[in-house]
Structures are given as C-alpha cells and as structure tokens.
Amino acid sequence: MAGTRAMTLRSALEQYLSMRQGLGYKYQQQARRLAAFVSFMERNNAATITTKLAVAWATLPADRHSSCALRLTDVRGFARHVANIDPQTEVPLAGILPPLKRAKPYIYTDAEINAQLTAALTLPPPNGLRRWTYHYLFGLFAVTGIRLSEAMRLRASLRLVEQKHALSTRPRNILRPLDPIVELREIPIRKPQGPNRWIL
C-alpha cells in the first residue's frame, strides 16, 4: 500500500512539474530537489506529506546550491498541489525555517570602476586583445549588472580596427568606443580555464 501511494506521489510530481513548466517556468532546479524529496518519502515508506517529514528532508545536509528554507519552499508548493489529491497532506507553513542570510553586496563607486577599467588596459601583452577584453567585460558588468556566468555564455569576438577607445562621461559610466574601433563577429569565445581565467 505504501509503495502504491509513493508511486502516486511520484506521479503527482510529474503532473505538478508538467503544469509549472507548461506555464513557462523552467523549474529545473526545483524539479531536481523535489525528485530528491519524493525519493526520501519512498525510502521512509511515507505515503502522505507531513510538515514533520518535509522539515526532516529540508534540514538534511543540503547541496551548495540551496538552503534549507528554499528546499522547504519547494515542498510547500508541491504539497499544495498534492493536497487536492490527498486531503491528509500537510502544507508546511512559511517561516518555519530561517531564510539564508546573504552577504551584503559591495557597491563600487564610479572612481573604483574607472580605476579597474584603467588597470585592465595595463594587462599584458601590450599589443594583445586580452586587455581590451577585460576592459569591456568590466564595463559590461558596471553598466548592465550582468553576472559572470552570463558573460561566459556571450558569443562575440572583438577585432581592433584602431587603437582608440574612450570612457564616456555620460551617467553610469557607459563605455563608448570612438568610431570606428571594433567589428563584432558571431564566433564563440573559448571557455575559461580555471576560476576567472579567460583564454584569448
């Protein structure tokens, strides 16, 4: 009986994920965590989601990608769905587990950003593309707030036409090349070797 109910939980999970992804959510990490939760329920021969079981799973040694509170949030959404099938399902209340405390981000001043952009232009080799790559990469970070992982997925190549570049004095330190400077071509940038190292 417990095995049959556990399979029902897994079927309910497939239905829940299909519904969420059908609404446009990627739900990849949540799907991975909820699959682990259902496996936990199966190992414990548990047929019905309870707050006690949900908290027990959420507070297991978590992976580096999620906190206990985040894992419990995933179960809470799934439990709401399952409650429509199994009225005995308990939906864990919000706030049972403390949220992950994140470090306060450091906001660079305009002077610090300018100093980093200037320092990037001193990188060796003197006539290489490396210095200009970092110069514009750091400028892209400052202007758009793009993450390093997102920048690594960009597909573009810069070919220097003239050795003339300038930092715009417009608000937010928008980098503006003097014309004509670069030509963009759609070719991939090779993956970095090691943390924060780019192959140019």
Walking along the chain (200 residues) 10 residues at a time, the average pLDDT comes out as 58 93 88 95 94 94 75 95 92 87 84 93 91 91 87 62 42 44 44 47
In a domain, 194, yes or no: no
Same domain flag for 116 and 180: yes
Parent domain of 127: 110-185
Query: How buried is residue 49: exposed, middle or buried, by Cβ count under 10 Å (0-12/13-18/19+)?
Result: buried
Residues 115 and 68 in one domain: no
Q: Which two tokens stand for residue 172?
A: 């937010």
pLDDT confidence of residue 26? 84
pLDDT score at 186: 41
190 lies in some domain: no
E strand map for 40-165: 157-160
DSSP state for residue 167 in the 8-state scheme: E
Same domain, 13 and 77: yes
One-letter identity of residue 42? E
Q: How many domains does the chain have?
A: 2
Residue 9's CB: how many other CB atoms inside 10 A? 23
Residue 92 counted as domain residue: no
Name every residue whose Cβ is closer than 8 Å to that of residue 156 and which is 6 or more positions away in sequence: 184, 185, 186, 187, 189
Pick from 103, 22, 9: which is nearest to 53 by CA? 9
Do residues 127 and 178 both lie within one domain? yes
Q: Which two tokens stand for residue 145?
A: 């707030």
pLDDT, residue 163, reads 41
Quote the pLDDT of residue 56.
94
Contacts of 19 (CB under 8 A, 6+ apart): 81
Residues 48 and 118 in one domain: no
27 and 65 share a domain? yes
pLDDT at 105: 84
Q: What is the pTM of this model?
A: 0.53
pLDDT, residue 63, reads 61
Residues 141 and 74 in one domain: no
Q: Is residue 96 domain-resident?
A: no
Note the pLDDT of residue 164.
43
d(CA 131, CA 21): 42
Residue located via tokens 């110069």 = 135
Query: Does any domain span residue 120?
Result: yes
Q: Does some domain include residue 97?
A: no
